[in-house]
Structure 1
Amino acid sequence: MSPPPFIAAPPLAGLPHGFFGREGGVSAPPFDSLNAGLGTADEPGAVRTNRRRAADALVEGAPLVGLHQVHSPEVVIVEQPWDEADCPRADALVTRTPGLLLGIVTADCAPVLLADREAGIVGAAHAGWRGAIGGVTDRTIGAMLQLGADPRRIRAAIGPCIAQKHYEVGEDMLAPFLEEDPANARFFREGARGRPHFDLESYVAAWLAGAGIGTVWLAGEDSYGQPQRYYSYRRATHADAPDCGRQISLIGIAPAER
């Protein structure tokens, strides 16, 4: 069986990293096939196999470190792998330990991978709208700086997430963004039904730029609009599906990088 396909970000070239989709795994329908979400109703053994397949596609045998994601701005500094049952409740990880792969899972939220290659420090963040407005990317960058990174050297990549045309929201969601900064109105536009649509990808990119990150690469891939390639929680909800898979995004430091 061929390794699962993934998207690599040019600014992160030379580091093991990738944004994986739903192709190339072993999960049966409706999770076919590379479901990496341990919190889903999928068969746990299949999910672990999928996660291992994704990790091995980058660095064979490398420990994969994940989280119990809770849509927060919480960040964890990783020095060594932990047991799956002991995953911290957080939404971002950073490390300077060679040989580890940091993993976050998404199904419409924005996966963000970051690296200061010169310092040998990488990070991964799960940025849904709650985490994004709560500052998850700022806190991820802050943890990287704590380890010795320089914001002028950090490169960031935003992977597949829900596109604005599919992200209809209520006025109750619009309000906190305008309270945080009236200029955030630029990330919303009126949809065909007269309700606001949110541009999550651009909003996350703006936070990264505002933190001094000079290179921010966007995959420009819509998770909702490509059912054969990506899982989408919103698409599953619209279809009254009982559950939804998760795609995984990974980044690490190969031992040779240190």
Structure 2
Amino acid sequence: MVEALRSGVLAGVPHGFLTRAGGVSRGAVAGLNCGFGAEDDPAAVAENRRRAADAVLPGASLVGVYQIHSADVATVAEPWGDDERPRADAMVTDRAGVLLGIVTADCAPVLLADLGAGVVGAAHAGWRGAHDGVIANTVAAMESLGASRGRIVAAVGPCIAQDSYEVGEDLRAQFDSAEHRFFAPHAPGHWQFDLPGYVHARLRDVGVETIDLLGCDTYADPARFFSFRRATHRGEATYGRQLSLVGLAVERS
């Protein structure tokens, strides 16, 4: 069965952080691989994405972006095809019947909603995107559709945890001294970076107060999650991606 993790802060909003359970892919990406770049059978990826969407909002149009670790946000006025995906790392919409889908494999998927305004957002937040402003830009794009940052709630889904995320001084040097609290010393010249904690702080910085961290470590749980870093450490040729989804249901009379 497809497994969709839910967040209490998004109650009433169709959403789900999908694991690798319940898919049809085989080999190194066995399970619910939803990434186009995983050297997987395109038919398997299409079926996995269909299953994921049906687990969250049956009948909705699934929309994604060509993710590039940027701070760019696309506003979805009408669904586009998979071969028409704009280069961006977040999406927002106020259209019912549309599912925003972000793929990750260690980076943090962030799902946001202002249910009162009828606006949702989804962001792919790795260290670079979070550092460069993808969270702030997503919130601003939601506001342009009528949302209020004081009402926006956010959930940060499965991503690599601090205990699993060793980085070098070169990455730490990208951050200012006030942000060094997210780096725990590990070995000479090496640090453990708290990605979910950093994303949480960036959400708070832009006025989002209701935030849920699901606390699932993608690296440490191979049975449940795909992980780019784990695949790299194991010398695997490719890696899968899990899908995180949020949308607005169509009201029925």
With structure 1 as the length reference, what TM-score do the two structures score?
0.96
In the alignment, the residues of structure 2 paired with residue 95 and residue 257 of structure 1 have an alpha-carbon distance, to the nearest angstrom, of: 19
The reply to whether residue 87 of structure 1 matches residue 82 of structure 2 is no
Secondary structure of 1:256's counterpart equals: coil
For residues 195-210 of structure 1, the aligned pairs below 5 Å read: 195-210=190-205
In the alignment, the residues of structure 1 paired with residue 96 and residue 71 of structure 2 have an alpha-carbon distance, to the nearest angstrom, of: 25
In the alignment, the residues of structure 1 paired with residue 186 and residue 79 of structure 2 have an alpha-carbon distance, to the nearest angstrom, of: 44
Show the counterpart of 1:73.
71
Show the counterpart of 1:254.
249
Unaligned 5+ runs, structure 2: none
AA partner of residue 221 (structure 2): Q
Show the counterpart of 1:35.
33
For residues 158-177 of structure 1, the aligned pairs below 5 Å read: 158-177=156-175
The reply to whether residue 149 of structure 1 matches residue 144 of structure 2 is no
The 1:194/1:165 distance shift into structure 2, 3 A limit, reads: farther
Deviation at 1:216, TM superposition (A): 0.7
AA partner of residue 77 (structure 1): T
Secondary structure of 1:97's counterpart equals: coil
The reply to whether residue 14 of structure 1 matches residue 9 of structure 2 is no
**41, 47, 50: which one aligns with 2:48:** 50
**217, 222, 225: which one aligns with 2:212:** 217
Contact 2:168 2:189 (C-alpha < 8 Å) held by counterparts? no
In the alignment, the residues of structure 1 paired with residue 243 and residue 211 of structure 2 have an alpha-carbon distance, to the nearest angstrom, of: 20
Alignment deviations for residues 12-47 of structure 1 (CA, whole Å, 9 cap, x no partner): 011110001111100011111000001110001100
Deviates most, 35-44 or 248-257? 248-257
How many positions carry a matched residue from both structures?
253
**107, 114, 126: which one aligns with 1:116:** 114
AA partner of residue 54 (structure 1): A
Secondary structure of 2:38's counterpart equals: coil
CA RMSD of aligned residues (A): 1.2
Deviation at 1:186, TM superposition (A): 0.6
What percentage of aligned pairs have identical amino acids?
A: 54
Deviation at 1:225, TM superposition (A): 0.2
Deviation at 1:257, TM superposition (A): 8.7
In the alignment, the residues of structure 2 paired with residue 140 and residue 257 of structure 1 have an alpha-carbon distance, to the nearest angstrom, of: 29
AA partner of residue 64 (structure 2): G
In the alignment, the residues of structure 2 paired with residue 33 and residue 9 of structure 1 have an alpha-carbon distance, to the nearest angstrom, of: 23
Deviation at 1:147, TM superposition (A): 0.6
Contact 1:98 1:257 (C-alpha < 8 Å) held by counterparts? no
Show the counterpart of 2:125.
127
Deviation at 1:6, TM superposition (A): 1.2
Contact 2:105 2:241 (C-alpha < 8 Å) held by counterparts? yes
Contact 1:120 1:257 (C-alpha < 8 Å) held by counterparts? no
Alignment deviations for residues 142-190 of structure 1 (CA, whole Å, 9 cap, x no partner): 0000111011100000000001111111111101112xxx111110001
Segments ≥4 residues shifted beyond 4 Å? none
Secondary structure of 1:186's counterpart equals: helix
The reply to whether residue 232 of structure 1 matches residue 230 of structure 2 is no
Deviation at 1:191, TM superposition (A): 1.6
In the alignment, the residues of structure 2 paired with residue 172 and residue 11 of structure 1 have an alpha-carbon distance, to the nearest angstrom, of: 36
